[in-house]
């Protein structure tokens, strides 16, 4: 049985007040809703504390959007895994394409961040995905394989249990153009096969693989019903409580059996 996870990645949006407003509104939208999905909210660093307080006693988990791979030291402006833990973060997003693209995060840096987060007992949402040029050039699988192998190198099966992969084709992020359900399914099946080759069928069958890239209430049901799509990482459509709640409600109640 695989866990379905629906996560909100707010990116550099919402201050502390807006975070509070969202959480009140979202909890209201979710009143009485039964879902098998785990819901994760990833506000900017400055709002983690507020979000944690407001989420206390709710089933919703708190996530951060980034971390530094060092324990502590002279890294002005950076945030460590231990700091995130102390704010009540449960998850951390690692290797988002915006971090790779605008902040120079290489596969090597991403791998260090994954290890650091796991060693600090944070669950990792590892983002992978190809650019449009890579898809058009027919190298999608090559790119995904490289990213997955680099990030997971040296991990144990036990560590993999604390990791989620988000397949996020870069051409679908923030563009309004989502991958088709079949494109998502094919990429997810390939990622699962790649992980199976590294850590075995058993571990890979249990791995949650989220889809991310222009998920919205209108396309969520179809995407989330694909056999290897185990949830969503949502950017733009997670900024409004009602649209994020609609996406959470689109998650299948029954978790498809791993194959």
E-assigned strand segments in 24-117 = 38-42, 61-64, 91-94
Asked about 168 being catalytic, the answer comes back as yes
Q: Which of 38, 130, 134, 168 is catalytic?
A: 168
- Which residues 186-215 are close enough to bind ligand PEP by CB under 6 A? 212-215
Rg (CA), the chain: 17
β-strands 61-64, 123-128 pairing: unpaired
Asked about 96 being catalytic, the answer comes back as yes
63 binds ligand PEP (CB under 6 A): no
The correct pick among 110, 173, 191, 199 for binding ligand PEP (CB under 6 A) is 173
174 binds ligand PEP (CB under 6 A): yes
Given the complex with ligand PEP, which of 137 and 174 has the nearer CB atom? 174
E-assigned strand segments in the chain = 5-9, 38-42, 61-64, 91-94, 123-128, 163-167, 209-212, 231-234
Given the complex with ligand PEP, which of 129 and 199 has the nearer CB atom? 129
Q: Which of 96, 98, 130, 188 is catalytic?
A: 96
Smallest separation, CB 176 to ligand PEP (Å): 8
- Tell me how far CA of residue 100 lies from CA of 8, 68, 88, 96, 110, in angstroms: 19, 14, 26, 6, 9
Given the complex with ligand PEP, which of 149 and 240 has the nearer CB atom? 240
95 binds ligand PEP (CB under 6 A): no
How is residue 58 annotated by DSSP? S
Taking each helix axis from N to C terminus, what angle separates 217-224 and 181-199, rounded to the nearest 10 degrees? Answer: 50
- Which residues 114-153 are close enough to bind ligand PEP by CB under 6 A? none
Which residues are known catalytic residues?
96, 168
Residues in contact with ligand PEP by CB under 6 A are 9, 168, 173-174, 212-215, 233-237
């Amino acid at each position: 049985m695989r866990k379905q996870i629906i996560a909100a990645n707010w990116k550099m949006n919402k201050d502390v007040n807006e975070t509070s407003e969202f959480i009140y509104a979202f909890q209201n939208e979710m009143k009485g809703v039964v879902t098998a999905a785990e819901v994760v909210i990833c506000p900017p660093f400055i709002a983690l504390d507020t979000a944690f307080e407001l989420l206390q006693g709710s089933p919703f988990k708190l996530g951060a959007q980034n971390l530094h791979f060092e324990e502590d030291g002279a890294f002005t402006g950076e945030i460590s895994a231990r700091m995130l833990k102390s704010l009540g973060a449960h998850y951390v997003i690692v290797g988002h394409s915006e971090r790779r693209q605008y902040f120079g995060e290489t596969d090597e840096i991403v791998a260090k961040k994954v290890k650091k987060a796991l060693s600090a007992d944070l669950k990792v949402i590892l983002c992978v995905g190809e650019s449009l040029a890579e898809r058009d050039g027919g190298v999608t699988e090559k790119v995904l394989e490289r990213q997955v192998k680099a990030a997971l190198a040296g991990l144990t099966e036990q560590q993999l249990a604390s990791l989620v992969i988000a397949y996020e084709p870069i051409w679908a992020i923030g563009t309004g153009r989502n991958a088709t359900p079949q494109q998502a399914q094919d990429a997810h099946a390939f990622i699962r096969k790649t992980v199976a080759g590294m850590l075995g069928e058993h571990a890979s069958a249990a791995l949650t693989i989220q889809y991310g890239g222009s998920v919205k209430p209108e396309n969520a049901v179809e995407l989330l019903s694909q056999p290897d799509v185990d949830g969503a990482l949502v950017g733009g459509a997670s900024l409004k409580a009602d649209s994020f709640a609609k996406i959470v409600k689109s998650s299948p109640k029954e978790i498809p059996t791993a194959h």
